[in-house]
Structure 1
Amino acid sequence: LIQCGQKGIKAAIIISAGFREVGPAGAQREQRVKEICAEYGISLVGPNCLGVINTDPKTMLNASFARKMPARGRIAFLSQSGALCTAVLDYARGKAIGFSKFVSFGNKAGVTEIELLDYLHRDDQTDVILLYLEELRHGRALIDAARRITRGDNPKPILAIKAGRTPQGADAASSHTGSLAAEDAICEAVFREAGIVRAQGIEELFDTAIMLTYQPMPARDRLAIVTNAGGPGVMATDAAVRAGLQMAQFKPQTTKKLMASLPAAANVKNPVDVIGDARADRYTAALQAVLDDPNVDQVLVILTPQSMTDIEDIARGVCRVQQKANKPIACSFMGASDVAPGVDILQAAHIPHYILPEWACQAMADVQTVRRWRQQPLDQDQGLSLPVDRDAAARILDPLPGGYLREDQALAVLETYGFPVPQYRLCGDADEAAHFAEQIGYPVVLRVVSPQIVHKFDVKGVRLNLTDAQAVKDAYRQMTEHVARALPQAHIVGVICRRMIPAGHELILGVKRDAVFGPTLMFGLGGLFVETFKDVTFALAPIDASAAGRMLREVKAYRLLTGARGTPPADVPQIEQCLLRLSRLVTDFPRITELDINPLIVGPAERGAAVADVRIRISD
């Protein structure tokens, strides 16, 4: 590498392994490689990679250890794994899939996926970008780059596989790349907010890529199915609905067209069953009829090889219809050797073909994810217009050492950012607590405050539903005495007294500062249900109003919040406001490493919400 630098060579590929992925000695070797590249201005791909392939006729470069040059195409493939690339190239060859660029970047000691993504965005030979990652070291940069690429001027979809979904897979990925893996739920949030479609495997990755590459973008998500077999049509309908697609409702004139061109035994509703003896003319008539329907956005053609089925003629008929269509068409010719000649015809015409209808439905659903992302409004406010008192929060936080804040300190921080915190007081003795309770009204709750106590219920440091002054005094003395016996090392600062919050929906709003992506928000069902149901979703701060609304809709509890089964709807706008305030708070104060509001108790619409408990942890 030094010799390359001395000769003025500005680009290099290191395919060999033995660097960061093998341990400390390899990491030192990789660091030396970085220093040499910086000294001589060398752009490096690798180490520990397959290399680079460029199918541009002006270049035709195969700087890799792949055995064959892939076919030309409009899909670019970027991979952290080198060995996976050779398998992908062989797989793509069998599916008649071509590539514009094919890059294995390995350990990313020089060129990273960020630079490659930006390059492919400018590349006029690339329409779709595929990405395989095992670790994410440039989290925020990835989000910024992906947002630029997937929307705005000249948008290009990015489809990605992020390996290491399970703890075991994450361990394997870490040992493979020598990097810590981010939590999978956070990666899910990252991809969603960056407009990256996350595929479950190689098959789905390419299933969706060929749909995006060779078919027009559908206007909406309404699907029509044309089949010569009732069973597969029903199964495809189930798969479509599960994937989030809508089954199209035909216009009356479409039904009339189908009745005129199909036998009496055919089903002219969606899914359209042209029955088992259908030849090409019947298939093409049905396909054209549903494509002409304004209620149909896309069509799936299913074929099973029966005794009277002319598979190749039907495939050619679909190709003829597709040439004039302005809506996407996908096919599933089910089987293997019998349907192979027809599949070859479809693939030669760039009509996406799927072995199973379920795979076609998933690809169409992924395309809808791309469409909705492009149409999603960009709200740049990110809570910046909310009235907050940053200086007051700084006066509380700046003098404090690292660790958990006392509850009174945490509540005071939330108050400066406009959270709905019920009136409270830190009381130093039982008489003060009883006097304050008389002022605010009953019932009240008492909560012990100590820097050494994080989980108050575990030490019986909470007393609820106290209805008179004597009950408050008794509870104060009993609680503080019990805590002193249970945790003699705990310094009891006092007891918080506040009004009991009326019953409502119990939610959790949380923050964890991820090492890769920074502050990550969590929202979901709170109280005692957090660990039981794990009905939560994540987003990266800062968020805007549309992202806050999305977080609400992504949890199963959303139906309860909107008034399921006759229950009154919750104050949803107040929840969204709290999420925006939380996002603003943790963005303004990087020292906040953890924050849990659990529960936030939310009342009916326009009745507001209240913070029942909060924990905040800060760094030194």
Structure 2
Amino acid sequence: MTAVEQPGYPGELEADVVLRDGSTAHLRPITAEDAELLVAFYARVSEQSKYYRFFAPYPELSSRDVARFTQVDYRGRLALIVTVGDEMIGVGRYERTAPTVAEVAFLIEDAHQGRGLGQLLLEHLAQAAREQGIGKFIAEVLPDNRKMITVFTEAGYKVAREFEDGVIVVEFDIAPTDTSFGVMQSREQRSEAKSIERLMTPASVAVIGASRREGTIGNALLRDLRDGGFTGELYAINAGADEIEGVQAFPTIRDVDSSVDLAVVAVPAESVIDVVLDCAAKGVRGLVVVSSGFAEVGEEGRRRQRRLVGLARSYGMRVIGPNCLGLINTDPAISLNATLSPLMPDRGRVAFFCQSGALGVAILADVVARGIGLSSFVSAGNRADVSGNDLMQYWYSDEATEVVLLYLESLGNPRKFSRVARRLAGRKPVVALRSGRATQGVPLGHTVRRSQLPPATSEALFRQSGLIGVDTTGEMFDVAQLLAHQPLPRGRNVAIVSNSDALTLLAMDAAAMHGLEIIGDPMTLGGNASADDFAAVLGNVFADDRVHSVVVIFAPPLHTTGEEVARVLATAAAGSDKPVVSSFLASRSVPEMLRVPGEHGGAARGSIPSYSSPQYAVGALAKATGYAEWRLRADSDIPDLPNIDTSGAEAFVADYLKRYPQGADLDPDDRQHLLSFYDINVLPSYPVLSADEAVACAADLGWEVILKATAEQWRMRPDLADIWRHIHDEDDMREAWREMTETFGVASDPGRAQFVVQKMVPPGVPVVIDAVEDVSYGPVVSFGLSGVATDLLGDRSYRMPPLTLADAAEMVREVRAAPMLFGYRGTDPVDIASIEVLLHRVGRLALDLEEVVRIELRSVLVGPDGATVLDTAIRIAPNEKPRQDTPARRLT
């Protein structure tokens, strides 16, 4: 039995991590079998670093030291090590000194200092310590050990420092804060972006499996790299050749007489592991594995894929693929086409991520046909390592990219996806197409957690994150054409200028369908309109401050040439901050006549896109308008909620799971107890088993009560027979009891109906607020109006907490039944703010307590003066699959 198989070893603490320079490493708990690894590591550490760690000369570790440092209980004493290949490069540990306090210390090999290891170890130690009930770290640091002091002070925690006996004593609470989480996210973005930059900007590339034989993958990859104009050194790896396609060949990558940054792998799947080891020995920075035969072919392939990724990461390499098309960087200084597609797009400002290799070929063909310039392109195949999340981190800081396109066939980590996408969308528009939304189907080879939530959840995730969701690749490119060339709209007001009545009507219908407002009457000039006629009208439209966007429709007339109209349109739009879309001679790209030439070819910003139909033009404009509106509210705050006791709630949940280790549904008293930690109060209800008990209970409440059946099969009946309202006295109650027991057929056994008596509240609109802990998305909050009709129609809104003020407001307003809350047909508007407060509080509870797997405020009555929670259901259960997005950085 190995150490990692022994009982008590916390395998969940293992993680692959990205270092500051973009390379990868493996982080794991130390074991007793690491004694030799520790001794070898310590021998490489400088005397100064040893002095900083032990405050005295400490040239060697004694056998007693080694035993003490490698044998830990993983609870009160924990050590985490970072390894690259077969070597330890850093270690961090904590040791409990009081029930909720631990001392923490680090030692990093000198050659690897400055790569962010101390910060990563601190994040993971803090997460592990919190799970053991530790809330504070203490460390002693020598004053001139500035690097270690910086690790603590820049972690985002509130750090207190004291100077005692020549030593700085640092202490800080390790509970995650907005600041510490923000620091972690910024470091995560920089390191993950750097890891992708290393793949995108190689100075040298080797094609492993290059072949002389035409029609083979190895031959195609080598030719595409060569013909694409790669500016760096290119090598072919083939044991039986000295030269292939004019490129020098070597038997193995180890034999190349200079460094290699990127290896493009096209060998049989069973040989890939040997290639990875060769690349590790050569110091390769990253791999593009085009080879198939991995997770997409079954269990054996999945094992081979896990081995590939684990081995590559352990030696500091990222992997694109396997079973992928490859990557493209159109930067003229690099000109990298490491794909199976011979098409090299023009240089542009659009970046594209997809997964399927076959689809990637079609996408590149469409991109070239439409004349959309790309900054970079990645097809990740099985996305066993590099994913859309990594690429979004890279494009966030890539100055060459202004628009991002995502074709997603699966989401491996939806919660991180949402967080990273929202950050990116706050800076650059992101257009996303998700396949398999209705079926939740994913391609073979993609490992995902299967969500139990409806398809509307992923659509809501897109909206919450600011993504521009589309339904087809055609629509994706329609929107990309606009965003890449035109400014964002400043509002929903549109002017239409056209020389065709029929096409104008199509544009007007599309605008109405998408909620765009047409300013004035459409300027329909007639089939004989001249270029001068267009110029006069366009001049007025662009000068009108009421107009936010312009749609120009030009059908070929008999007497006016397209060149003349294009010239006046380009002149009128030049320098305007209003986006212009056109249906110009039914062209489906950026026509040459409306193109502003780019520096490296292609169309530059200011070019006017054209669409084959006005409907497509208006549809693209509507998507851009919606995104522009989201940008204006993207900075909405997450509110501070008073009267929340998170630590009390956590203690309650921990105690509950001690009583019910398998989990259970909470009874009414426990539900109210838990909700009280989040200042949510439920109107008491009292179970009754007979008419006499109901009468006595109602008398105690002072009458004006209801009698309600709460058994699941009778709740929320369409005929409302489950509730008898306005019970004023004993006669009313006995009549209600008789009628309801007869209706439900429970006169002989009224307990089956689970009757309760509850005080009447002022009239209002019933709503439902739920939260569930989903294995894929983590906590998700939903909202809707109560009733069978809205249940059948799936009329719910969804968001992932934490909710911003804008999130909660949108949730209330986007359900189709929302008019009922705002004074429908003469009714009084309800207190919307009280609903939003409940959404925030339920979202905060679900975010804080992942063992609360379901919480339902399943009957909330909202009136003009507030909301009253009438009925709830809560389930607490052990967290069998921890959330994927944690306060400690890790590759998933």
Q: TM-score range by the shorter chain?
A: 0.7 to 0.9
Residue 278 (1) aligns with residue 529 (2):
yes
Choose which of 624, 643, 646 in structure 2 pairs with 1:387: 643
Asked if the contact 1:426–1:497 (Cα under 8 Å) also holds between the matched residues in 2, the reply is yes
Task: After superposition, give the CA deviation of every residue in 1:151-204 in whole Å (9 maximum; x if it has no partner).
Answer: 2xxx1111111111222xx23x25463435544211112111111111111122
Please state whether the residue corresponding to 1:612 is helix, strand or coil. Answer: strand
Q: Distance in 2 between matches of 1:83 and 1:361?
A: 30
Residue 298 (1) aligns with residue 567 (2):
no
Asked if the contact 1:236–1:361 (Cα under 8 Å) also holds between the matched residues in 2, the reply is yes
Choose which of 598, 604, 609 in structure 1 pairs with 2:867: 609
Choose which of 471, 481, 485 in structure 2 pairs with 1:210: 481
Match of 2:593 in 1: 345
CA shift at 1:467, angstroms? 4.5
Residue 434 (1) aligns with residue 695 (2):
yes
Instruction: Extract unaligned runs of 5+ from structure 2.
Output: 1-275, 598-606, 879-892
In the TM superposition, 1:47-62 aligns within 5 A as 47-62=322-337
Task: After superposition, give the CA deviation of every residue in 1:228-273 in whole Å (9 maximum; x if it has no partner).
Answer: 0112112201211211222124xxxxxxxxxxxxxxxxxxxx3101
Match of 2:73 in 1: none
Match of 2:814 in 1: 554
Match of 1:85 in 2: 360
The number of equivalent residue pairs is: 582
In the TM superposition, 1:69-468 aligns within 5 A as 69-151=344-426, 155-167=427-439, 170-171=440-441, 173-175=442-444, 177-180=446-449, 182=451, 183-249=454-520, 270-335=521-586, 343-347=591-595, 350-376=607-633, 378-382=635-639, 384-390=640-646, 393=649, 397=653, 398-399=655-656, 401=660, 402-426=663-687, 433-446=694-707, 454-455=712-713, 457=715, 464-465=724-725, 466-468=727-729
Please state whether the residue corresponding to 1:220 is helix, strand or coil. Answer: coil
Match of 2:22 in 1: none
Please state whether the residue corresponding to 1:83 is helix, strand or coil. Answer: helix
Give the 3 Å change call, closer, same or farther, for CA 58–418 of structure 1 in structure 2: same
Asked if the contact 1:248–1:295 (Cα under 8 Å) also holds between the matched residues in 2, the reply is yes
Q: Distance in 2 between matches of 1:486 and 1:15?
A: 68
Q: Distance in 2 between matches of 1:595 and 1:283?
A: 60
Query: What letter corresponds to residue 614 of structure 1 in structure 2?
Result: T
Q: Distance in 1 between matches of 2:750 and 2:431?
A: 53
Q: Distance in 2 between matches of 1:562 and 1:323?
A: 44
Task: After superposition, give the CA deviation of every residue in 1:283-304 in whole Å (9 maximum; x if it has no partner).
Answer: 1221121111111112111012
Give the 3 Å change call, closer, same or farther, for CA 158–178 of structure 1 in structure 2: same
Choose which of 589, 600, 604 in structure 1 pairs with 2:849: 589
Higher mean C-alpha displacement, 429-438 vs 209-218: 429-438
Task: Please report the TM-score for the alignment, with normalisation by the length of structure 1.
Answer: 0.86
Asked if the contact 2:432–2:476 (Cα under 8 Å) also holds between the matched residues in 1, the reply is yes
Query: What letter corresponds to residue 69 of structure 1 in structure 2?
Result: M
Asked if the contact 2:437–2:458 (Cα under 8 Å) also holds between the matched residues in 1, the reply is no
Q: Distance in 1 between matches of 2:679 and 2:687?
A: 20
Please state whether the residue corresponding to 2:591 is helix, strand or coil. Answer: helix
Give the 3 Å change call, closer, same or farther, for CA 53–586 of structure 1 in structure 2: same
CA shift at 1:385, angstroms? 2.0
Higher mean C-alpha displacement, 216-225 vs 370-379: 370-379
Higher mean C-alpha displacement, 569-578 vs 178-187: 178-187
Higher relative contact order (CA 8 A, sep 6+): 1
Choose which of 862, 874, 877 in structure 2 pairs with 1:619: 877
Choose which of 495, 507, 524 in structure 1 pairs with 2:767: 507
Query: What letter corresponds to residue 574 of structure 1 in structure 2?
Result: S
Q: Distance in 2 between matches of 1:617 and 1:329?
A: 53
Give the 3 Å change call, closer, same or farther, for CA 590–476 of structure 1 in structure 2: farther
CA shift at 1:37, angstroms? 0.9
Give the 3 Å change call, closer, same or farther, for CA 22–531 of structure 1 in structure 2: farther
Task: After superposition, give the CA deviation of every residue in 1:389-444 in whole Å (9 maximum; x if it has no partner).
Answer: 54665565432531322345334433443335223345688765533321213243
Asked if the contact 1:19–1:25 (Cα under 8 Å) also holds between the matched residues in 2, the reply is yes
Please state whether the residue corresponding to 2:352 is helix, strand or coil. Answer: strand
Asked if the contact 1:75–1:98 (Cα under 8 Å) also holds between the matched residues in 2, the reply is yes
Asked if the contact 2:687–2:757 (Cα under 8 Å) also holds between the matched residues in 1, the reply is yes
Q: Distance in 2 between matches of 1:412 and 1:528?
A: 30
Please state whether the residue corresponding to 2:783 is helix, strand or coil. Answer: strand
Choose which of 792, 810, 833 in structure 2 pairs with 1:573: 833
Q: Distance in 1 between matches of 2:617 and 2:638?
A: 38
CA shift at 1:320, angstroms? 2.6
Give the 3 Å change call, closer, same or farther, for CA 564–472 of structure 1 in structure 2: closer
Asked if the contact 1:527–1:599 (Cα under 8 Å) also holds between the matched residues in 2, the reply is no
Query: What letter corresponds to residue 277 of structure 2 in structure 1?
Result: I
Task: After superposition, give the CA deviation of every residue in 1:495-549 in whole Å (9 maximum; x if it has no partner).
Answer: 6432244442121211222222211111112133332332211111221222111
Query: What letter corresponds to residue 612 of structure 2 in structure 1?
Result: I
Higher mean C-alpha displacement, 10-19 vs 344-353: 344-353
Query: What letter corresponds to residue 626 of structure 2 in structure 1?
Result: T
Task: Please report the TM-score for the alignment, with normalisation by the length of structure 2.
Answer: 0.61
Please state whether the residue corresponding to 1:177 is helix, strand or coil. Answer: coil
Asked if the contact 1:563–1:569 (Cα under 8 Å) also holds between the matched residues in 2, the reply is yes
Give the 3 Å change call, closer, same or farther, for CA 496–408 of structure 1 in structure 2: farther
Please state whether the residue corresponding to 1:309 is helix, strand or coil. Answer: coil
Match of 2:309 in 1: 34
Task: After superposition, give the CA deviation of every residue in 1:54-108 in whole Å (9 maximum; x if it has no partner).
Answer: 1111111111101221111111101112211111111111111111101111222
Query: What letter corresponds to residue 388 of structure 1 in structure 2?
Result: I
Q: Distance in 2 between matches of 1:332 and 1:412?
A: 62
Query: What letter corresponds to residue 345 of structure 1 in structure 2?
Result: M
Give the 3 Å change call, closer, same or farther, for CA 38–422 of structure 1 in structure 2: same
Asked if the contact 1:223–1:296 (Cα under 8 Å) also holds between the matched residues in 2, the reply is yes
Match of 1:253 in 2: none
Query: What letter corresponds to residue 374 of structure 1 in structure 2?
Result: R
Q: Distance in 2 between matches of 1:103 and 1:48?
A: 12
Higher mean C-alpha displacement, 407-416 vs 9-18: 407-416
Give the 3 Å change call, closer, same or farther, for CA 6–37 of structure 1 in structure 2: same
Give the 3 Å change call, closer, same or farther, for CA 524–289 of structure 1 in structure 2: same
Asked if the contact 2:412–2:447 (Cα under 8 Å) also holds between the matched residues in 1, the reply is no
Higher mean C-alpha displacement, 208-217 vs 463-472: 463-472
Give the 3 Å change call, closer, same or farther, for CA 441–429 of structure 1 in structure 2: same
Query: What letter corresponds to residue 346 of structure 1 in structure 2?
Result: L
Larger Rg: 2
Higher mean C-alpha displacement, 315-324 vs 556-565: 315-324
Q: Distance in 2 between matches of 1:203 and 1:610?
A: 48
Task: After superposition, give the CA deviation of every residue in 1:90-148 in whole Å (9 maximum; x if it has no partner).
Answer: 11111111111011112222222222111112211111111111111122222222222
CA shift at 1:18, angstroms? 2.5
Instruction: Report sequence identity in percent.
Output: 33
Asked if the contact 1:521–1:583 (Cα under 8 Å) also holds between the matched residues in 2, the reply is yes
